[in-house]
Structure 1
Amino acid sequence: MAERLKGQVALVTGAASGIGAATARAMAAEGACVVLADIDAVNGMRLAGELEGASFIRTDVSVEAQVAAAVAHAVERYGHLDCMVNNAGLVGAFGSILETPAQAWHATLAVLLDSVFYGIKHAGRTMVARKRGCILSVASTAGVIGGLGPHAYTTAKHGVIGLTRSAASELAAHGVRVNAVAPGTTVTNMIVQGRGSLDAALDAAARSSPLGTPLMPEEIAAALVYLASDDARHVTAHTLVVDAGVTVAGGAGSGQFHSRAAGFMGAMPSASRED
Protein backbone atom coordinates (compact mmCIF):
# COMPACT_ATOMS: atom_id res chain seq x y z
CA MET A 1 0.00 0.00 0.00
CA ALA A 2 1.44 3.35 -1.09
CA GLU A 3 -0.48 5.32 1.58
CA ARG A 4 -0.32 8.56 -0.39
CA LEU A 5 -3.21 9.86 1.71
CA LYS A 6 -2.01 8.63 5.09
CA GLY A 7 -3.31 10.82 7.91
CA GLN A 8 -5.83 12.58 5.68
CA VAL A 9 -9.60 12.76 6.07
CA ALA A 10 -11.71 12.58 2.92
CA LEU A 11 -15.45 13.14 2.47
CA VAL A 12 -16.99 11.49 -0.59
CA THR A 13 -20.57 12.20 -1.66
CA GLY A 14 -22.49 9.59 -3.60
CA ALA A 15 -20.22 7.05 -1.95
CA ALA A 16 -22.64 4.12 -1.75
CA SER A 17 -22.12 2.95 -5.33
CA GLY A 18 -20.29 3.41 -8.62
CA ILE A 19 -17.48 5.94 -8.87
CA GLY A 20 -18.13 7.16 -5.34
CA ALA A 21 -17.77 3.71 -3.81
CA ALA A 22 -14.64 3.01 -5.84
CA THR A 23 -13.19 6.35 -4.69
CA ALA A 24 -13.97 5.64 -1.05
CA ARG A 25 -12.23 2.27 -1.33
CA ALA A 26 -9.23 3.72 -3.16
CA MET A 27 -8.75 6.55 -0.69
CA ALA A 28 -9.06 4.20 2.28
CA ALA A 29 -6.48 1.92 0.67
CA GLU A 30 -4.15 4.92 0.43
CA GLY A 31 -4.44 5.50 4.18
CA ALA A 32 -7.24 8.08 4.43
CA CYS A 33 -10.08 8.05 6.92
CA VAL A 34 -13.14 8.30 4.70
CA VAL A 35 -16.59 9.74 5.40
CA LEU A 36 -19.16 8.25 3.06
CA ALA A 37 -22.14 10.52 2.35
CA ASP A 38 -25.09 9.24 0.37
CA ILE A 39 -28.87 9.14 0.33
CA ASP A 40 -28.61 5.33 0.17
CA ALA A 41 -28.11 4.45 3.83
CA VAL A 42 -28.19 0.66 3.39
CA ASN A 43 -25.31 0.40 0.92
CA GLY A 44 -23.48 3.38 2.40
CA MET A 45 -23.39 1.87 5.87
CA ARG A 46 -22.44 -1.51 4.48
CA LEU A 47 -19.42 -0.09 2.66
CA ALA A 48 -18.38 2.05 5.62
CA GLY A 49 -18.34 -1.12 7.71
CA GLU A 50 -15.89 -2.69 5.26
CA LEU A 51 -13.37 0.17 5.34
CA GLU A 52 -11.09 0.67 8.31
CA GLY A 53 -11.74 3.93 10.11
CA ALA A 54 -14.60 4.94 7.80
CA SER A 55 -17.97 6.40 8.79
CA PHE A 56 -21.27 7.07 7.05
CA ILE A 57 -23.73 9.96 7.16
CA ARG A 58 -26.98 9.96 5.21
CA THR A 59 -26.93 13.00 2.95
CA ASP A 60 -29.25 14.46 0.35
CA VAL A 61 -26.77 16.63 -1.53
CA SER A 62 -29.52 18.81 -2.97
CA VAL A 63 -30.11 20.18 0.55
CA GLU A 64 -27.41 22.62 1.68
CA ALA A 65 -27.93 21.94 5.39
CA GLN A 66 -27.27 18.24 4.85
CA VAL A 67 -24.03 18.87 2.96
CA ALA A 68 -22.96 21.25 5.72
CA ALA A 69 -23.81 18.54 8.27
CA ALA A 70 -21.66 16.01 6.43
CA VAL A 71 -18.69 18.38 6.53
CA ALA A 72 -19.33 19.04 10.24
CA HIS A 73 -19.51 15.29 10.87
CA ALA A 74 -16.08 14.80 9.30
CA VAL A 75 -14.51 17.58 11.36
CA GLU A 76 -16.16 16.54 14.61
CA ARG A 77 -15.27 12.86 14.21
CA TYR A 78 -11.74 13.17 12.83
CA GLY A 79 -10.68 16.68 13.81
CA HIS A 80 -10.24 18.09 10.30
CA LEU A 81 -11.09 17.63 6.63
CA ASP A 82 -8.38 17.38 3.97
CA CYS A 83 -10.28 16.35 0.85
CA MET A 84 -13.84 16.92 -0.33
CA VAL A 85 -15.06 14.84 -3.28
CA ASN A 86 -18.28 16.16 -4.85
CA ASN A 87 -19.39 13.08 -6.72
CA ALA A 88 -23.10 12.45 -6.14
CA GLY A 89 -25.28 12.62 -9.19
CA LEU A 90 -27.97 11.29 -11.49
CA VAL A 91 -28.89 11.53 -15.16
CA GLY A 92 -31.97 13.61 -14.39
CA ALA A 93 -34.14 15.41 -16.92
CA PHE A 94 -34.11 13.60 -20.24
CA GLY A 95 -35.52 14.28 -23.69
CA SER A 96 -36.08 17.21 -26.01
CA ILE A 97 -35.27 20.70 -24.72
CA LEU A 98 -38.64 21.67 -26.18
CA GLU A 99 -40.47 19.32 -23.82
CA THR A 100 -38.35 19.43 -20.64
CA PRO A 101 -40.42 20.50 -17.61
CA ALA A 102 -38.89 23.33 -15.59
CA GLN A 103 -39.30 21.30 -12.40
CA ALA A 104 -37.24 18.43 -13.83
CA TRP A 105 -34.61 20.93 -15.04
CA HIS A 106 -34.23 22.53 -11.61
CA ALA A 107 -34.24 19.18 -9.78
CA THR A 108 -31.42 17.94 -12.01
CA LEU A 109 -29.28 21.02 -11.45
CA ALA A 110 -29.95 20.84 -7.70
CA VAL A 111 -28.21 17.46 -7.51
CA LEU A 112 -25.54 17.95 -10.15
CA LEU A 113 -24.53 21.59 -9.71
CA ASP A 114 -26.00 23.13 -6.56
CA SER A 115 -24.53 20.27 -4.53
CA VAL A 116 -21.06 21.06 -5.82
CA PHE A 117 -21.49 24.69 -4.77
CA TYR A 118 -22.55 23.51 -1.29
CA GLY A 119 -19.58 21.15 -1.06
CA ILE A 120 -17.05 23.77 -2.10
CA LYS A 121 -18.61 26.38 0.18
CA HIS A 122 -18.73 24.35 3.37
CA ALA A 123 -15.60 22.24 2.90
CA GLY A 124 -13.80 25.38 1.75
CA ARG A 125 -14.61 27.20 4.98
CA THR A 126 -12.94 24.60 7.16
CA MET A 127 -9.98 24.22 4.77
CA VAL A 128 -9.35 27.97 4.54
CA ALA A 129 -9.20 28.08 8.33
CA ARG A 130 -6.40 25.47 8.23
CA LYS A 131 -4.69 26.99 5.16
CA ARG A 132 -4.73 23.64 3.36
CA GLY A 133 -7.05 21.23 1.60
CA CYS A 134 -8.21 19.78 -1.68
CA ILE A 135 -11.67 19.95 -3.24
CA LEU A 136 -12.49 17.62 -6.13
CA SER A 137 -15.63 17.43 -8.22
CA VAL A 138 -16.77 14.84 -10.72
CA ALA A 139 -17.73 16.53 -13.99
CA SER A 140 -18.14 14.64 -17.27
CA THR A 141 -17.13 14.69 -20.91
CA ALA A 142 -20.59 16.23 -21.30
CA GLY A 143 -19.10 19.26 -19.56
CA VAL A 144 -16.24 19.45 -22.04
CA ILE A 145 -18.05 18.91 -25.33
CA GLY A 146 -21.75 19.56 -25.94
CA GLY A 147 -23.91 16.75 -27.26
CA LEU A 148 -22.51 13.98 -25.08
CA GLY A 149 -25.38 14.08 -22.61
CA PRO A 150 -28.94 15.29 -21.94
CA HIS A 151 -29.45 19.06 -21.82
CA ALA A 152 -29.75 19.60 -18.06
CA TYR A 153 -26.94 17.14 -17.35
CA THR A 154 -24.67 18.81 -19.92
CA THR A 155 -25.44 22.26 -18.55
CA ALA A 156 -24.72 21.15 -14.99
CA LYS A 157 -21.41 19.51 -15.90
CA HIS A 158 -20.26 22.63 -17.78
CA GLY A 159 -21.16 24.52 -14.61
CA VAL A 160 -19.09 22.17 -12.46
CA ILE A 161 -16.03 22.86 -14.59
CA GLY A 162 -16.62 26.62 -14.53
CA LEU A 163 -17.15 26.61 -10.78
CA THR A 164 -13.98 24.58 -10.32
CA ARG A 165 -11.97 27.24 -12.11
CA SER A 166 -13.56 30.20 -10.37
CA ALA A 167 -13.36 28.66 -6.89
CA ALA A 168 -9.75 27.69 -7.46
CA SER A 169 -8.90 31.30 -8.32
CA GLU A 170 -10.22 32.45 -4.94
CA LEU A 171 -9.06 29.62 -2.71
CA ALA A 172 -5.51 29.20 -4.02
CA ALA A 173 -4.37 32.12 -1.85
CA HIS A 174 -5.55 30.11 1.17
CA GLY A 175 -3.65 26.95 0.29
CA VAL A 176 -6.73 25.12 -1.03
CA ARG A 177 -6.59 23.35 -4.38
CA VAL A 178 -9.77 22.89 -6.45
CA ASN A 179 -9.86 20.45 -9.37
CA ALA A 180 -12.27 18.26 -11.31
CA VAL A 181 -12.26 14.95 -13.14
CA ALA A 182 -14.31 14.55 -16.32
CA PRO A 183 -15.01 10.85 -16.90
CA GLY A 184 -16.22 9.37 -20.10
CA THR A 185 -18.95 6.73 -19.95
CA THR A 186 -17.99 4.55 -17.00
CA VAL A 187 -19.27 1.02 -16.43
CA THR A 188 -21.13 1.35 -13.13
CA ASN A 189 -23.97 -0.86 -11.87
CA MET A 190 -26.41 1.64 -13.32
CA ILE A 191 -24.91 1.17 -16.79
CA VAL A 192 -24.95 -2.61 -16.38
CA GLN A 193 -28.64 -2.52 -15.45
CA GLY A 194 -29.41 -0.23 -18.37
CA ARG A 195 -27.67 -2.54 -20.81
CA GLY A 196 -28.96 -5.76 -19.30
CA SER A 197 -25.64 -7.43 -18.49
CA LEU A 198 -22.03 -6.66 -17.64
CA ASP A 199 -20.78 -8.02 -20.96
CA ALA A 200 -23.20 -5.82 -22.90
CA ALA A 201 -22.21 -2.77 -20.87
CA LEU A 202 -18.49 -3.43 -21.38
CA ASP A 203 -19.00 -3.90 -25.11
CA ALA A 204 -21.07 -0.72 -25.49
CA ALA A 205 -18.60 1.32 -23.46
CA ALA A 206 -15.66 0.04 -25.50
CA ARG A 207 -17.42 0.82 -28.78
CA SER A 208 -18.14 4.37 -27.63
CA SER A 209 -14.43 5.22 -27.27
CA PRO A 210 -11.63 5.68 -29.83
CA LEU A 211 -9.26 3.53 -27.77
CA GLY A 212 -11.82 0.75 -27.77
CA THR A 213 -11.51 0.27 -24.01
CA PRO A 214 -14.27 0.49 -21.38
CA LEU A 215 -13.76 2.81 -18.43
CA MET A 216 -14.20 1.30 -14.97
CA PRO A 217 -15.03 3.14 -11.71
CA GLU A 218 -11.65 2.21 -10.25
CA GLU A 219 -9.89 4.09 -13.04
CA ILE A 220 -11.79 7.29 -12.29
CA ALA A 221 -11.06 6.76 -8.59
CA ALA A 222 -7.35 6.50 -9.40
CA ALA A 223 -7.47 9.93 -11.04
CA LEU A 224 -9.19 11.40 -7.99
CA VAL A 225 -6.61 9.85 -5.66
CA TYR A 226 -3.83 11.39 -7.73
CA LEU A 227 -5.40 14.85 -7.53
CA ALA A 228 -5.90 14.45 -3.77
CA SER A 229 -2.29 13.44 -3.18
CA ASP A 230 0.91 15.45 -2.87
CA ASP A 231 1.80 14.21 -6.36
CA ALA A 232 -0.62 16.92 -7.57
CA ARG A 233 0.36 19.58 -5.04
CA HIS A 234 0.98 22.11 -7.83
CA VAL A 235 -2.23 21.29 -9.72
CA THR A 236 -5.28 23.51 -9.27
CA ALA A 237 -8.11 24.89 -11.46
CA HIS A 238 -7.64 21.83 -13.67
CA THR A 239 -10.14 19.38 -15.17
CA LEU A 240 -8.56 16.00 -15.77
CA VAL A 241 -10.37 14.27 -18.63
CA VAL A 242 -10.41 10.46 -18.38
CA ASP A 243 -12.44 9.31 -21.37
CA ALA A 244 -10.48 6.83 -23.52
CA GLY A 245 -10.14 9.52 -26.18
CA VAL A 246 -13.78 10.51 -26.79
CA THR A 247 -13.22 14.26 -26.50
CA VAL A 248 -10.02 14.19 -28.54
CA ALA A 249 -11.81 12.36 -31.32
CA GLY A 250 -14.56 14.96 -31.12
CA GLY A 251 -12.03 17.76 -31.37
CA ALA A 252 -10.63 16.12 -34.48
CA GLY A 253 -14.08 16.13 -36.05
CA SER A 254 -14.91 12.47 -35.59
CA GLY A 255 -18.61 12.90 -34.98
CA GLN A 256 -19.14 9.14 -34.93
CA PHE A 257 -17.80 9.05 -31.38
CA HIS A 258 -20.21 11.81 -30.32
CA SER A 259 -23.17 9.85 -31.61
CA ARG A 260 -21.94 6.61 -30.08
CA ALA A 261 -21.37 8.18 -26.69
CA ALA A 262 -24.68 10.02 -26.77
CA GLY A 263 -26.46 6.84 -27.79
CA PHE A 264 -24.83 4.95 -24.93
CA MET A 265 -25.96 7.58 -22.41
CA GLY A 266 -29.37 7.69 -24.02
CA ALA A 267 -29.97 4.08 -23.04
CA MET A 268 -29.77 4.94 -19.35
CA PRO A 269 -32.92 5.41 -17.27
CA SER A 270 -33.58 9.04 -16.49
CA ALA A 271 -34.03 8.63 -12.74
CA SER A 272 -30.93 6.53 -12.14
CA ARG A 273 -28.00 7.59 -10.01
CA GLU A 274 -24.69 8.29 -11.66
CA ASP A 275 -22.36 8.24 -8.67
Structure 2
Amino acid sequence: MERLGRKWGRAKLPKLGWVTFRWSRPLGGEVRSATVSRKGGHWFVSFLAGDQATRRPGDQATTPEQHAMPDTVAGIDRGVKTAAVTSDGEFFDRPFITAGETARCRRLQQQLARTTKGSANRARVRAHLNKIMGRVAGRRADFCAVTAAYLTAKNALVVLEDLKTRSMTACASGTLAEPGSRVAQKRGLNRSILDKGWHRLELALISAARYTGTRVVKVNPAYTSQRCSACGFVTETNRESQAVFRCKAAGCGHTAHADVNAAINIKHAAGHAVSACGDLGNSRSVKQEPVSRATGRTPT
Protein backbone atom coordinates (compact mmCIF):
# COMPACT_ATOMS: atom_id res chain seq x y z
CA MET A 1 0.00 0.00 0.00
CA GLU A 2 1.22 3.50 -0.75
CA ARG A 3 -0.09 7.04 -0.56
CA LEU A 4 -0.57 9.01 -3.79
CA GLY A 5 -1.48 12.35 -2.26
CA ARG A 6 -3.40 14.03 0.54
CA LYS A 7 -6.72 12.41 -0.39
CA TRP A 8 -5.78 9.36 -2.44
CA GLY A 9 -3.86 6.12 -2.01
CA ARG A 10 -3.61 2.70 -3.60
CA ALA A 11 -3.32 -0.85 -2.33
CA LYS A 12 -2.31 -4.06 -4.04
CA LEU A 13 -5.05 -6.63 -3.43
CA PRO A 14 -5.00 -10.34 -4.33
CA LYS A 15 -6.58 -11.09 -7.77
CA LEU A 16 -7.29 -7.37 -8.26
CA GLY A 17 -3.86 -5.81 -8.40
CA TRP A 18 -3.41 -2.13 -7.61
CA VAL A 19 -6.68 -0.46 -6.51
CA THR A 20 -6.99 3.29 -5.98
CA PHE A 21 -9.07 4.47 -3.03
CA ARG A 22 -9.94 7.71 -1.26
CA TRP A 23 -7.91 8.10 1.94
CA SER A 24 -10.60 9.16 4.42
CA ARG A 25 -8.72 8.84 7.72
CA PRO A 26 -5.21 8.14 9.07
CA LEU A 27 -4.43 4.48 9.69
CA GLY A 28 -2.39 5.04 12.83
CA GLY A 29 -0.26 1.91 12.62
CA GLU A 30 1.07 -0.99 10.59
CA VAL A 31 -1.49 -2.45 8.17
CA ARG A 32 -2.16 -6.14 8.75
CA SER A 33 -5.07 -6.92 6.44
CA ALA A 34 -7.62 -5.32 4.12
CA THR A 35 -11.32 -6.04 3.58
CA VAL A 36 -13.24 -4.99 0.45
CA SER A 37 -17.02 -4.58 0.75
CA ARG A 38 -19.92 -3.09 -1.19
CA LYS A 39 -22.71 -1.07 0.35
CA GLY A 40 -25.35 1.12 -1.26
CA GLY A 41 -23.78 0.85 -4.69
CA HIS A 42 -20.35 1.93 -3.44
CA TRP A 43 -17.18 -0.06 -2.84
CA PHE A 44 -15.21 0.32 0.39
CA VAL A 45 -11.85 -0.95 1.60
CA SER A 46 -11.12 -1.14 5.33
CA PHE A 47 -7.69 -1.81 6.83
CA LEU A 48 -6.83 -3.58 10.06
CA ALA A 49 -3.92 -1.72 11.67
CA GLY A 50 -2.11 -1.75 14.99
CA ASP A 51 -2.87 1.13 17.35
CA GLN A 52 0.41 2.97 17.86
CA ALA A 53 -1.07 5.42 20.36
CA THR A 54 -1.76 2.80 23.04
CA ARG A 55 0.69 0.05 22.08
CA ARG A 56 4.09 -0.62 23.57
CA PRO A 57 6.78 -2.03 21.26
CA GLY A 58 5.95 -5.65 20.53
CA ASP A 59 2.61 -5.58 22.41
CA GLN A 60 -1.02 -5.40 21.38
CA ALA A 61 -3.17 -2.34 22.04
CA THR A 62 -4.09 -2.10 25.74
CA THR A 63 -6.85 -0.36 27.67
CA PRO A 64 -5.72 2.28 30.21
CA GLU A 65 -5.77 0.99 33.78
CA GLN A 66 -7.55 4.12 34.98
CA HIS A 67 -9.68 6.80 33.37
CA ALA A 68 -8.27 10.32 33.16
CA MET A 69 -11.19 11.51 35.38
CA PRO A 70 -11.80 8.50 37.66
CA ASP A 71 -14.62 10.03 39.75
CA THR A 72 -16.97 10.92 36.88
CA VAL A 73 -20.23 9.00 36.37
CA ALA A 74 -23.06 9.45 33.86
CA GLY A 75 -26.39 7.69 33.55
CA ILE A 76 -27.85 7.52 30.04
CA ASP A 77 -31.53 7.25 29.22
CA ARG A 78 -32.28 6.09 25.67
CA GLY A 79 -35.61 7.17 24.24
CA VAL A 80 -37.70 7.37 21.09
CA LYS A 81 -38.03 11.17 21.19
CA THR A 82 -34.36 11.89 21.98
CA ALA A 83 -31.75 9.25 21.23
CA ALA A 84 -29.78 9.71 24.47
CA VAL A 85 -30.09 11.96 27.53
CA THR A 86 -27.49 12.03 30.30
CA SER A 87 -27.89 12.57 34.03
CA ASP A 88 -25.97 15.84 33.57
CA GLY A 89 -28.80 17.19 31.40
CA GLU A 90 -27.11 16.76 28.01
CA PHE A 91 -29.28 15.79 25.03
CA PHE A 92 -27.90 13.87 22.05
CA ASP A 93 -30.00 13.50 18.93
CA ARG A 94 -30.02 14.20 15.19
CA PRO A 95 -32.26 13.38 12.21
CA PHE A 96 -30.94 10.49 10.17
CA ILE A 97 -33.23 10.91 7.15
CA THR A 98 -34.37 14.11 5.44
CA ALA A 99 -37.93 14.94 4.41
CA GLY A 100 -36.97 14.58 0.74
CA GLU A 101 -35.45 11.14 1.33
CA THR A 102 -38.56 10.05 3.24
CA ALA A 103 -40.80 11.04 0.32
CA ARG A 104 -38.43 9.38 -2.14
CA CYS A 105 -38.44 6.14 -0.10
CA ARG A 106 -42.25 6.14 -0.02
CA ARG A 107 -42.44 6.45 -3.80
CA LEU A 108 -39.83 3.73 -4.30
CA GLN A 109 -41.66 1.37 -1.94
CA GLN A 110 -44.85 1.90 -3.95
CA GLN A 111 -42.94 1.13 -7.15
CA LEU A 112 -41.40 -1.95 -5.53
CA ALA A 113 -44.85 -3.29 -4.64
CA ARG A 114 -45.86 -3.10 -8.32
CA THR A 115 -42.81 -4.91 -9.69
CA THR A 116 -42.47 -8.62 -10.42
CA LYS A 117 -40.21 -10.70 -8.21
CA GLY A 118 -36.95 -11.52 -9.94
CA SER A 119 -37.33 -8.82 -12.59
CA ALA A 120 -34.64 -6.33 -13.57
CA ASN A 121 -36.98 -3.46 -12.75
CA ARG A 122 -37.40 -4.77 -9.20
CA ALA A 123 -33.62 -5.00 -8.78
CA ARG A 124 -33.25 -1.41 -10.00
CA VAL A 125 -35.84 -0.10 -7.50
CA ARG A 126 -34.24 -2.03 -4.67
CA ALA A 127 -30.85 -0.59 -5.57
CA HIS A 128 -32.27 2.95 -5.30
CA LEU A 129 -33.81 2.10 -1.92
CA ASN A 130 -30.59 0.57 -0.65
CA LYS A 131 -28.66 3.67 -1.68
CA ILE A 132 -30.89 5.93 0.42
CA MET A 133 -31.00 3.59 3.42
CA GLY A 134 -27.23 3.20 3.21
CA ARG A 135 -26.84 6.94 3.75
CA VAL A 136 -29.26 6.77 6.69
CA ALA A 137 -27.35 3.89 8.28
CA GLY A 138 -24.08 5.77 7.80
CA ARG A 139 -25.42 8.85 9.58
CA ARG A 140 -26.70 6.71 12.45
CA ALA A 141 -23.37 4.92 12.81
CA ASP A 142 -21.51 8.26 12.75
CA PHE A 143 -23.83 9.72 15.41
CA CYS A 144 -23.37 6.72 17.71
CA ALA A 145 -19.58 6.72 17.28
CA VAL A 146 -19.21 10.47 17.95
CA THR A 147 -21.59 10.37 20.94
CA ALA A 148 -19.86 7.33 22.42
CA ALA A 149 -16.41 8.90 22.02
CA TYR A 150 -17.59 12.07 23.80
CA LEU A 151 -19.28 10.22 26.68
CA THR A 152 -16.43 7.81 27.33
CA ALA A 153 -13.82 10.59 27.22
CA LYS A 154 -15.80 12.55 29.79
CA ASN A 155 -16.89 9.77 32.17
CA ALA A 156 -15.11 6.92 33.93
CA LEU A 157 -18.39 5.07 34.47
CA VAL A 158 -21.28 5.01 32.00
CA VAL A 159 -24.55 3.44 33.18
CA LEU A 160 -27.20 2.13 30.78
CA GLU A 161 -30.51 0.37 31.18
CA ASP A 162 -30.31 -3.35 30.43
CA LEU A 163 -32.75 -3.17 27.51
CA LYS A 164 -33.49 -6.28 25.44
CA THR A 165 -33.84 -4.45 22.14
CA ARG A 166 -34.51 -7.56 20.08
CA SER A 167 -37.40 -8.62 22.32
CA MET A 168 -38.74 -5.06 22.57
CA THR A 169 -38.93 -4.76 18.78
CA ALA A 170 -40.50 -8.17 18.20
CA CYS A 171 -43.56 -8.31 15.94
CA ALA A 172 -46.87 -7.79 17.75
CA SER A 173 -49.07 -9.38 15.07
CA GLY A 174 -49.35 -12.67 17.00
CA THR A 175 -50.77 -15.73 15.24
CA LEU A 176 -53.93 -16.51 13.31
CA ALA A 177 -55.37 -18.20 16.38
CA GLU A 178 -54.41 -15.36 18.73
CA PRO A 179 -53.99 -12.11 16.79
CA GLY A 180 -52.04 -9.34 18.50
CA SER A 181 -53.56 -6.11 19.79
CA ARG A 182 -52.58 -2.54 18.80
CA VAL A 183 -50.34 -3.90 16.06
CA ALA A 184 -50.03 -0.59 14.22
CA GLN A 185 -49.06 1.25 17.41
CA LYS A 186 -46.44 -1.40 18.24
CA ARG A 187 -45.10 -1.25 14.69
CA GLY A 188 -44.56 2.50 15.04
CA LEU A 189 -42.79 2.04 18.38
CA ASN A 190 -40.53 -0.63 16.89
CA ARG A 191 -39.55 1.69 14.05
CA SER A 192 -38.76 4.51 16.48
CA ILE A 193 -36.57 2.27 18.65
CA LEU A 194 -34.66 0.92 15.67
CA ASP A 195 -34.33 4.38 14.11
CA LYS A 196 -32.67 5.81 17.24
CA GLY A 197 -30.09 3.00 17.24
CA TRP A 198 -30.31 1.95 20.91
CA HIS A 199 -28.26 -1.21 20.47
CA ARG A 200 -25.76 0.42 18.12
CA LEU A 201 -25.10 3.15 20.70
CA GLU A 202 -24.49 0.52 23.37
CA LEU A 203 -22.00 -1.28 21.13
CA ALA A 204 -20.29 2.01 20.28
CA LEU A 205 -19.91 2.84 23.99
CA ILE A 206 -18.37 -0.56 24.72
CA SER A 207 -15.98 -0.15 21.79
CA ALA A 208 -14.95 3.42 22.69
CA ALA A 209 -14.47 2.47 26.36
CA ARG A 210 -11.46 0.34 25.41
CA TYR A 211 -9.46 3.48 24.61
CA THR A 212 -10.36 5.53 27.70
CA GLY A 213 -10.63 2.95 30.48
CA THR A 214 -14.35 3.68 30.95
CA ARG A 215 -16.56 1.02 32.54
CA VAL A 216 -19.97 0.45 30.92
CA VAL A 217 -22.53 -0.95 33.39
CA LYS A 218 -26.10 -2.06 32.67
CA VAL A 219 -28.77 -1.91 35.38
CA ASN A 220 -32.35 -3.08 35.82
CA PRO A 221 -34.64 -0.70 33.86
CA ALA A 222 -37.70 -1.25 36.09
CA TYR A 223 -39.40 1.99 37.23
CA THR A 224 -36.57 4.32 36.20
CA SER A 225 -39.06 6.56 34.38
CA GLN A 226 -41.61 6.53 37.26
CA ARG A 227 -39.27 7.03 40.23
CA CYS A 228 -38.59 10.50 41.61
CA SER A 229 -34.84 11.09 41.60
CA ALA A 230 -35.17 13.46 44.59
CA CYS A 231 -37.24 11.44 47.09
CA GLY A 232 -37.57 7.98 45.52
CA PHE A 233 -41.38 7.95 45.37
CA VAL A 234 -42.66 5.65 42.60
CA THR A 235 -45.95 5.96 40.76
CA GLU A 236 -46.90 5.96 37.09
CA THR A 237 -48.63 9.35 37.49
CA ASN A 238 -45.30 11.03 38.27
CA ARG A 239 -44.59 11.21 34.54
CA GLU A 240 -47.24 13.58 33.30
CA SER A 241 -46.10 13.49 29.66
CA GLN A 242 -43.20 12.47 27.48
CA ALA A 243 -41.10 15.41 28.69
CA VAL A 244 -42.64 16.47 32.04
CA PHE A 245 -41.93 14.74 35.36
CA ARG A 246 -43.60 16.04 38.52
CA CYS A 247 -43.41 14.06 41.77
CA LYS A 248 -46.81 13.43 43.39
CA ALA A 249 -45.40 12.63 46.85
CA ALA A 250 -46.61 14.92 49.64
CA GLY A 251 -43.99 17.49 50.50
CA CYS A 252 -41.80 16.82 47.46
CA GLY A 253 -43.17 18.22 44.20
CA HIS A 254 -39.84 17.73 42.40
CA THR A 255 -40.10 18.82 38.75
CA ALA A 256 -37.65 17.96 35.98
CA HIS A 257 -37.42 16.85 32.38
CA ALA A 258 -38.66 13.27 32.39
CA ASP A 259 -35.67 11.91 30.48
CA VAL A 260 -33.16 13.68 32.72
CA ASN A 261 -34.95 12.36 35.82
CA ALA A 262 -34.79 8.83 34.39
CA ALA A 263 -31.08 9.24 33.59
CA ILE A 264 -30.38 10.29 37.18
CA ASN A 265 -32.21 7.18 38.44
CA ILE A 266 -30.12 5.06 36.08
CA LYS A 267 -26.97 6.71 37.45
CA HIS A 268 -28.02 6.02 41.06
CA ALA A 269 -28.70 2.38 40.19
CA ALA A 270 -25.07 1.79 39.13
CA GLY A 271 -23.68 -1.35 40.69
CA HIS A 272 -27.06 -2.68 41.85
CA ALA A 273 -30.58 -3.23 40.54
CA VAL A 274 -33.20 -0.51 40.85
CA SER A 275 -34.77 -1.13 44.25
CA ALA A 276 -38.31 0.08 43.56
CA CYS A 277 -39.48 -3.55 43.74
CA GLY A 278 -37.71 -4.43 46.97
CA ASP A 279 -35.87 -7.75 46.88
CA LEU A 280 -35.20 -8.62 43.24
CA GLY A 281 -34.31 -12.24 43.85
CA ASN A 282 -35.28 -15.09 41.57
CA SER A 283 -38.52 -15.61 43.51
CA ARG A 284 -39.87 -12.08 42.96
CA SER A 285 -40.99 -10.49 39.71
CA VAL A 286 -39.23 -7.24 38.85
CA LYS A 287 -42.61 -5.76 37.90
CA GLN A 288 -44.17 -6.35 41.33
CA GLU A 289 -44.24 -3.63 43.97
CA PRO A 290 -43.39 -4.67 47.57
CA VAL A 291 -46.41 -5.46 49.74
CA SER A 292 -46.63 -4.60 53.43
CA ARG A 293 -46.95 -7.69 55.63
CA ALA A 294 -49.01 -5.79 58.21
CA THR A 295 -51.69 -4.40 55.90
CA GLY A 296 -51.34 -6.61 52.81
CA ARG A 297 -51.31 -3.48 50.66
CA THR A 298 -48.72 -1.81 48.49
CA PRO A 299 -47.18 1.08 50.48
CA THR A 300 -47.70 4.59 49.12
TM-score w.r.t. the length of structure 1 is 0.35
Q: Which has the higher helix share?
A: 1
Q: Whose radius of gyration is greater, 1 or 2?
A: 2
TM normalised by structure 2 equals 0.33
